[in-house]
Copies of this chain bind each other. A is one copy, B any other.
Amino acid sequence: MIPPDHPRYRSLVTREMLAESVRKGIVSMEGLTAHGRGEAFDYFIGERTTRSALYAERTAAALLLSARNPVISVNGNTAALAAREIAALQKACGAKVEVNLFHRTEERVNLIEDLLRNAGSDVFSGPAERLLPLSHDRAWCRREGMFSADVILVPLEDGDRAEALVTMGKTVIALDLNPLSRTSRSATLTIVDELTRALPNITRACRDLSGAEREELLSSLDNNYLLSEAIREMTMRLSHALE
């Protein structure tokens, strides 16, 4: 048992929960490594939502609300960490929720879909086809879902799928703690924030954005600016580290 007064309580409980999710077959072992990687980047932004990240989150809400066929892509880590937050966002923006996995088996897809449904999501399910221009299993998706989406939210993504989706002409919203990743650089909009902080902020913005603010956010979208702000935050923290 982790004592609740431990200074890293939240982080340790999350790790334990993810290890448990590996045992259940929801998270892949590779997902644990990816999580550790995210932890290090989160440390560099101070484990809080920065001002520029909040701006990105409100812009994400504007994009989702303006979409014709928005889709939220969910992998194992996202489902394990934030199934409830995904359900709340779906209610607020009306997006389809579709499972897409790098380490794909039918059994894992079913387990993750069940987890999402139990947390309140209406999961866009059914037979998938190999529709995305990718050599690995993230190519599998549904024709009426991800394949025909105009706006797609991809939390905890791998870089080549993000690139492929952009090449297909889609508006890609990435949720990635690493501002230097291929995903972050190729996405239309990148949110450099931790999943369970970012999703509720997007949901809140979906509920409270005025029409005028929506328009303004969409017209001022500048992903390079957002990435450079995230990097500036990290650089500042690092350069004061040995003081």
Contact = CB atoms under 8 A, between A and B. Distances in A.
A3 B135 CA distance: 7
Given A231-B242, A241-B179, A241-B231, A12 B36 contact: no
Contacts of A135: 3, 5-6
Interface string A35-56: 1111111010000000000000
Interface string A232-243: 101100110110
A128 interface: no
A160 interface: yes
A235 B178 CA distance: 15
B40 A180 contact: no
Q: On chain A, which size bracket covers the interface? A: 35 or more
B40 A32 contact: no
Interface string A121-148: 0000000000000011000000000000
The listed residue with most B CB atoms (<10 A of its CB), out of A8, A19, A35, is: A19
Interface of A: 1-3, 5-8, 12, 15-16, 18-19, 22, 28-30, 32-41, 43, 135-136, 158-160, 178-180, 182, 224, 227-228, 231-232, 234-235, 238-239, 241-242
